[in-house]
Amino acid sequence: MIIENTVEGVKRQVKAWKSEGLSIGLVPTMGYLHEGHKSLIDRAVSENDRVVVSVFVNPIQFAPTEDLESYPRDFDADCRLCEDAKASLVFHPDADEMYDGDFSTFVDMDNVTKELCGKSRPTHFRGVCTVVNKLFNIAMPDRAYFGQKDAQQLAVIRRMVRDLNMNVEIVGCPIIREADGLAKSSRNTYLSDEERKAALVLSKAIFKGKEMLESGISDGEEVLEQMKEIILSSPLAKIDYVEMVKWDSIEIHHTVDCPVLVAIAVYIGRTRLIDNFIFEV
C-alpha cells in the first residue's frame, strides 16, 4: 500500500494506473477510521482495480466554534485498517498542501444544503463540496463511496456531480451500527460512559420512526413527534433537529407520498451526533 502526502504524487500514480486501463475507486474520509469506513473501502475494493482512501481533516468545513482541533486522529491505526482492507493508496495531505495561502475558490450549493445540517452549520457544505471537488480532480476516480450516515452529504455530492457534469459514479453505502444500535461515528469517542448509554436514544428514535412508517402511518408530523419524545426521554439529550425531507431534494416534506429521508441531529452533552433512515414508498 502506498502512502502519499502530495497532490502531485497522487496524480502521478493515478495517471500510471489509468494508462494501464485500471479502474479507480475513491473513499474520502477525515480519518479515525472504524468499521463504517472499512465497509466503504471493502465495497470499493470489490468494484475497482485500485482504491484511493483520503485521510484529511478538512478545515474549511468546520465553523470557528466547532471541533477542528479536537477532532480525533490516529493515522497509524488508519493505515493499518486501510492495509487490512486492501486499499491501494492512502492520501494524507496537510492543510497547506490542499489550500495555498491565497486559496480563494469554493463550491457553493443552494437548496439541497438549506435544511438539516446545512441549517445549523451554514458553512459546512461549502467546505465539503470544495474538498470533494478537489479530491475528484486529484484522484480522478471512476467511483466514489460515501456512507448513508451522512445522508445529506450524500445527497449534496450526488447533486454536485449531476449539476457540474462530473464523470464519477457516486455510490451510497449503508449505515454501520454498534451491536446496541448506535451508528458508528468517529465522534462517539467523545462520549463518557454515561453519555454513551444516553446516546442510544438516537437509534431508538430512528428504529421507532421506521417502524411507524412501515406500519402504514403516513403522517410525518406524528412520526416526528414520537421520535422527539424518545430522544427527550434522556436528560442529556438536546435536539438540534428531527426532520423529514424529500430524499432527492432535502426539502421539508411531512407526507409520505414519495421517498423520504428522516434525519436527526442531537447533542449528547457537548457531542453532536447524527442518524437517519430512508423510506421508499
Task: Write down the catalytic residue from 37, 92, 124, 253.
Answer: 37
Asked if residues 201 and 182 have their Cβ atoms less than 8 Å apart, the reply is: no
SS3 211: helix
Grid coordinates belonging to 209: 420512526
Residue 124 designated active-site:
no
- Angle of helix 75-84 relative to helix 35-47, nearest 10 degrees? 40
- 62 HSE (CA, 13 A, CB side): 14
CA angle 273, 158, 141 (to 5 degrees): 105
> Per residue in 39-49, is it b (16+ CB within 10 Å) or e — as a string?
bbbbbbbeebe
Question: Residue 232: is it exposed, middle or buried by C-beta count within 10 angstroms (0-12/13-18/19+)?
Answer: middle
CA 213 to CA 195: how far, in whole Å?
29
Instruction: Of 116, 75, 64, give the one whose Cα is nearest residue 243.
Output: 116
Bridge-based pairing state of the strands 2-4 and 143-147: unpaired
CA 74 to CA 230: how far, in whole Å?
34
> Which distant-in-sequence residues (6+ apart) come within 8 Å of 77 by Cβ?
32, 33
Grid coordinates belonging to 179: 451491536
Active-site residue numbers? 37
